Amino acid sequence: MIQFSEEAMRRYKTILSHYPEKRAALLPVLTLAQREFGWISQEVADYIGELMGYPPSDVLAVATFYTMLHKKPVGKYHIDICKNVSCWLMGVYPCIDELKQQLGVRDGADGPHRRGQDQRLARARRRGLPHWNEVELRPA
């Protein structure tokens, strides 16, 4: 059976301390679990459900709703690029084509690089900057 490392368990307890109810902490806990285990598998959902006192189906329902949570293993490098209309207007598709060509990746492909599309990346001032392994890439 899997379990959090000591450091992750400390973070888990810190996360819980910021919320009046455990259920409100489920998304941050799932994000922590993804960082710890790489993706949200059935085993991870079972573990988080047991830890928080919720059925694994509730945990998976939340994980399935949010695109930033991976429900299957991803490559070593994960690139998320905004796909909404604001990013399209700012010219995201030529950037996507260039990334595909330079890195030899395609949407959802397995391998060392995996490119996904994510609605949540669009921000008014940031214009949907891409994320590389959850780190926002900013112009130099």
pLDDT tens digit string along 5-22? 999 999 999 999 999 999
Confidence at residue 129, expressed as pLDDT on a 0 to 100 scale: 53
pTM here is 0.67
Please state the rounded mean pLDDT for residues 51-76.
90
Confidence at residue 136, expressed as pLDDT on a 0 to 100 scale: 53
Residues 90 and 60 grouped into a single domain? no
CATH number at residue 124: 3.40.30.10
Let me know if residue 72 belongs to a domain: no
Q: Residue 118 is part of which domain span?
A: 77-136
66-92 pLDDT, tens digit per residue, is: 888 888 887 777 677 777 777 778 787
Distances (CA, A) of 50 to 2, 54, 59: 12, 6, 10
Number of domains in the chain: 2
Alpha helix (H) ranges present in 18-128? Answer: 26-37, 42-52, 56-65, 85-89, 92-103
Let me know if residue 82 belongs to a domain: yes
